[in-house]
Structure 1
Amino acid sequence: MPKPQKGILIILSFFAIYVIWGSTYLLNKIVVTEVAPFLLAAIRFLSAGTLIMIIAKFLKLSLRVTRAQFFNCVIAGFLFLFYGNGIFVWALKYVDSGFAALIVATQPLFVIFLMRIIQGKKIKPKSLIGVALGMLGMYLLMSQDTLNLTRESTIGIVVIFTCVLGISFASIFVSKANLPSHFFVTTGYQMLSAGTLLLLGSLSLGETWTSPIDWSTKAQVAMVLLILFGSIIAFTAFNFLLKEVSTEKVATSAYVNPVIALLLGWYFLDENISQQSIVAGGTLLMGVYFINSKKKLVMFSRFKKNLKI
């Protein structure tokens, strides 16, 4: 692929994981009020995975994979979608969508430190500043007096943190794993495997199954948006980025998503956005800039230069 086209695709992919994924918290919250969480996720990913495979076949992409590639897709699907999304949606029954998005903003921190532990990768000073700003933004968002925690919401928060850890590990795994040659096909196999596991999980838990025909119009529309945009477009963009840019840069979506989630909650659900939330959102976005920026820190460069003299 020519560099200009790839550059445009990278920009569009970042838009997808920043903005579209930021909207999925609201959409999942709408649907989970009417549909059992594992069933919700199973329908979403089985539908999206099937559509992706049909599109891939139409585009004449090879669907053949080796045993190792298929096994890696199953692992990634389990971490990203079964645990990272299915369990996350369950937690949304007890945690507000905007608040859940704020917790996910810790992902870049998990990714950077996991890369240090697993790969021995040094943490750049610029990335440390970005993480520090992200943590400060998280603190400002979560320390507000308007947040009332109950026993159920506390359990939900702990569960969401484990989901973030799983997604962070999966991001590192996928960036190096032997996967199908085309990221679109990779996405399809991950969704079909995760959707199957979620369906089995729904059956084993004895969830009440309801037909989409019986859902409210709002829930039906939200599910369609989750399948087409949240799954097919955004998750495909995510897999593409993991192979094209650094993992910690992809993880910065977790900083932007809470801001989008808060804005959508304010617009559609009449949720109040405090001045502290606005300041926190700006701090989070500044953290994204430091992690994503290719510019070197001038002061640090000068400091290194002086040490060599």
Structure 2
Amino acid sequence: MLAWLAYLTASVVWGSTFLAIAFAIETFTPFGLSAVRFIPAGILALLIGQIRKERFPSWREIPHIALVGITLLGVCMGLIGWAEGRVSSGVTAALGATVPLFLALMDPRGLDPKAWCGLGMGFLGVLVLLWPSGQGPALSGAAALVLSASLWAYGTLYGKRHADESGHFSQIGVEMLVAGVLSLLAASLTGGISHGTWNPRSLLAVGYLITFGSILAYSAYIYLSKVWPCAKAGTYAYWNPIVGVLLGCWFRGETFHARMLPGLACILLGVALVQIPWPKALRFGSANQGAKQISR
């Protein structure tokens, strides 16, 4: 039950962060946004870990944890922030949905043909869902997003392979703090923290990214990647564009096209194929038939 709650959190909350990032980069540079987002979030996560009396990572574990934080939060989020200055938040969500495909390609263990069909159908649904927008992505922005998705998949699998016994919030606190400090250094070399006057909307967006996008959703995803197969956990990315489209309609007055309905149906069916196992009768029946044919 806790895993499904974590999956729901990553699916819904991260779907809303694309809109928050689009608001935040009106004021902050890509690496500046990562710095002001992850340094406070990392400190807060470490405080939560101390309150929960969690074990702090050892010096032997910290390099692995730091690498995950640098990859997922420093590099990937920096690329997303940079790309959202060139493509729409909808295109960002669509290309972000390549994460489960990269996870499956990098670690195909446990995926049957039904799951592969589901991954493909889900991604097709994302493309259909966002097709009516008519916004062709800039090549540089699209390339950055695909690179970000592939690195996200690699970082997720690396973290799963090098899982340690430290406390949950202590681990993500180290990841976010390392990523935030390195992003601050990168921001100082690439244009500073902000490029415009701070406004209430961008500051509110940063506050949302710290509390909901980082503390809540990221901790949920790290937990989920440990208890579920990564490709299955990665299907959260298929829900993100749905959330993004609905929020766009609600907050920005974007039109919901009837042509989006087939895309929604494809996504739902694709996720169902990945997440819902075959009935036992069908699985064992097919296995028994195969055994009979071999014996003959």
Q: Confirm or deny that 1:15 pairs with 2:2.
A: no
- Mark the CA change 1:198 to 1:170 in structure 2 (over 3 Å): closer, same or farther: same
- On the 8 A contact 2:132/2:259 being kept in 1, the answer is no
What pairs with 1:90-169 in structure 2 (closer than 5 Å)? 90-116=82-108, 121=109, 123-141=111-129, 144=131, 146-149=133-136, 153-169=138-154
Runs (4+) off by over 6 Å:
none
Q: Confirm or deny that 1:183 pairs with 2:150.
A: no
Matches of 2:279 and 2:183 in 1, distance apart?
44
Residues 113-172 of structure 1: CA deviation (Å, up to 9, x unaligned): 1103xxxx2531221121121132134235x3642336xx22101110000000011111
- Mark the CA change 1:198 to 1:122 in structure 2 (over 3 Å): closer, same or farther: same
Q: Structure 2: which 5+ runs fail to align? A: none
Identity of aligned residues (%): 27
Residues 32-54 of structure 1: CA deviation (Å, up to 9, x unaligned): 01211110111100010011111
Matching residue's letter, 1:81:
L
CA apart distance, 1:57: 1.4
**2:43 matched residue in structure 1:** 50
CA apart distance, 1:303: 3.9
Task: State the TM-score, normalizing by the size of structure 2.
Answer: 0.92
- Mark the CA change 1:203 to 1:174 in structure 2 (over 3 Å): closer, same or farther: same
Residues 43-75 of structure 1: CA deviation (Å, up to 9, x unaligned): 100010011111211222232x22331101111
**1:171 matched residue in structure 2:** 156
What is the aligned counterpart of 1:192 among 155, 171, 177?
Answer: 177
Matches of 1:208 and 1:189 in 2, distance apart?
21
Matches of 2:281 and 2:114 in 1, distance apart?
10
Matches of 1:56 and 1:202 in 2, distance apart?
28
- On the 8 A contact 1:56/1:184 being kept in 2, the answer is yes
Task: State the TM-score, normalizing by the size of structure 1.
Answer: 0.88
- On the 8 A contact 2:33/2:193 being kept in 1, the answer is no
- On the 8 A contact 1:69/1:180 being kept in 2, the answer is no
Matches of 2:259 and 2:124 in 1, distance apart?
12
- Mark the CA change 1:54 to 1:208 in structure 2 (over 3 Å): closer, same or farther: closer
Q: Secondary structure at the match of 1:57?
A: helix
Matching residue's letter, 2:167:
H
**1:202 matched residue in structure 2:** 187
Matches of 1:138 and 1:261 in 2, distance apart?
11
Matches of 2:257 and 2:134 in 1, distance apart?
12
What pairs with 1:247-266 in structure 2 (closer than 5 Å)? 247-266=230-249
Q: Confirm or deny that 1:220 pairs with 2:208.
A: no
CA apart distance, 1:87: 1.3
Matching residue's letter, 2:112:
K
**1:235 matched residue in structure 2:** 218
**1:272 matched residue in structure 2:** 255
Q: Secondary structure at the match of 1:67?
A: coil
CA apart distance, 1:240: 1.1
Matches of 1:298 and 1:270 in 2, distance apart?
48
- On the 8 A contact 2:25/2:33 being kept in 1, the answer is yes
**1:4 matched residue in structure 2:** none
CA apart distance, 1:271: 1.6
**1:3 matched residue in structure 2:** none
- Mark the CA change 1:85 to 1:298 in structure 2 (over 3 Å): closer, same or farther: farther
Matches of 1:262 and 1:298 in 2, distance apart?
39
Aligned-CA RMSD value: 2.0
